[in-house]
Each structure stands twice: as structure tokens, then as C-alpha cells.
Structure 1
Amino acid sequence: MKKIILYLFILSLLFNIFQYMNSTKILKTQSKEIESCEAKIKAVRDSSNIVYNQMIDANYFSLEMDDESLEYFENYSIPELTEQIRNELLALNDAPNGNKLVPYDPIDGNKFIINKFKILNHRWIIADVYSGTLRGEILIKYFINDGKPTDFETIQAILHQPRKPAQ
């Protein structure tokens, strides 16, 4: 009986040593995985912060970020106002000779239209214009009239030289 107890004791001791070694190995592996995941999370957070800061910088000149413009339009819904301006600007593209805000005549039968635009503040808009092969930008001054169409006036326009095809 003493031998059985001794064998059981030795067997339980060996089993405990095996469990301890195995648990230690698993713990080290999991610790390395956790450290690796924490490093990846930190890298993603850093990248996210960089992108966020770049977005903030890119939107510095925008109606939504301009406190003075927001105060000027305090009685308006900015999303609705932006949609109104968008619709009125793009409706001007439907004219037979192109958008009247673009001070260039059609070239090779292609009229100039506004592609994209950004409302910079409560007075200015910058817009990308396109005519099939040529593109440029225009700076537009605008004024919101209650119950009437928005007044637009081109301040400055620039037309870019066509790009030469890559050889």
C-alpha cells in the first residue's frame, strides 16, 4: 500500500511538473501574442491619428470648420444650404454653352462644366471645371438670397495646359 501511495505521489508530482512547464510555455506564447497585438494596435492608432490630423488640416478651409461662417449662417441648416448651393451650381452646367461661371467658350464642341467644388466659407467657393480635354479651377463669390436663387460671381479662373501623354 505504501508503494502504491509512493507511486501515486511520484506520478502526481510528475504530472504537476508537466502542467507547470506546459502552462509556462503557453503563458509565454500568449504574452508574446499580446505584446504583438498591442504593438499593432498602437501602430493603427498612430496611423489613425495621422490621418485624422491630415483630414482636419485638409478641411481647414471649409464652411463646416469656419466658425465665422457658421455664425453668419446661424439661421440656416448647413447641410441644406450646402445642398441648395450644390444644386444651383450644377444646374448651371445644363446651359448650351456650358456653365456661365466658367469664362471660357466651348473647345472642340466640349462645353466647360463644374465637376467638383468646395465651399470655403460664407463667401467663396472653389470649383474644378472640365471640358473633355482641358481642366481648370475657378474661384466663385456667392451670396445667399432668402427665397431667391443664390448670386454667383466668378472672381478668378485658371485653365491648365493639357497633360502630355506618357511615353
Structure 2
Amino acid sequence: MREKEQLTKLGSQHTEYKTDYDPSVLEAFSNKHPDNDYFVKFNCPEFTSLCPITGQPDFATITISYVPDQRLVESKSLKLYLFSFRDHGDFHEDCVNKIMKDLIKLLDPKDIEVWGKFLPRGGISIDPYCNYGKPGTRWEQAAWERMMKHDMYPEIVRNR
């Protein structure tokens, strides 16, 4: 089957927007440049999930950066996947870790990081960060070093 035929979300006129966590909507395609190391970065400034205790909405910008190996995530399927958290109740930390683990399962990337910058609720904002480097590669050490240094120079938060 040709790769184009395997991508069911892209170009579909019958898009279904699921509102509870659904990793099955994620789709991937072949990396035409697996011999190059390069970052792919996604910013989702309208991420929404629900507090698992109160049911109140939580809003965030989710940033996903990864170094692909053999596969890349198709962006429309990623959009639908992130949208599927809309009525899903999970803590902020759980959301970013689920996103990262689902993308690792789909893509087997060389390196990936997911950062959530959640708007304050109750006077406090939470910015969970997680990353991964493929074991046994130089990316494993790079991920560890980035984890240790990722917030050494935190941003100035004025009005988030």
C-alpha cells in the first residue's frame, strides 16, 4: 500500500473530532531523510484537558520537539490527538508524559521532548517537561543533559 493511502486523516472531508483521549488517531509516514539529524517542532497553543478532581478545564501551550528516525508524525493526526484530551481528566504531568510515550510508541524517534506550559488556576501555573533519548545512542546522553539543564534559565512569566 502506498504511504499516501495509509494516511487517513490528511485531506479527509469527514474529520471526526474525538473529545476523550484517543492515541489511535495518530498516524505516521516515512522519513525521507533518516540519515540527517534534524528537529521537528510543534506548538499547540490551544491545548485543553480537564482536572481529574474538579472537572475544571486546564489550558496550555504544548511544545513537542523531536529528532525523527524512520518515521514522522502526520500533523493533522497530531492535532486530532491533542484535541482528544479536551474532555480527558488527567493532571498536567500525566498529560505531557502520555503525549511523549504515545509518540515514542508511534515513531521510535531518536530524541523527543514535550513541554506543557499551563495557564494558572488558583494562582499557580505548572510547566511539566519530559524527554527521552533512544537508549544506546548519543541521544540518550543528550536527553539526560537537557533534562539536567532544561530550566537553568527560566523564563520571566508576566501574565500567563
Q: How would you bin the TM-score normalised by the shorter chain?
A: under 0.3
**Which of the two has higher C-alpha Rg?**
1
Structure ranking higher in strand proportion: 2
- Per the normalisation by structure 2, the TM-score is 0.26
- Structure with bigger helix share is 1
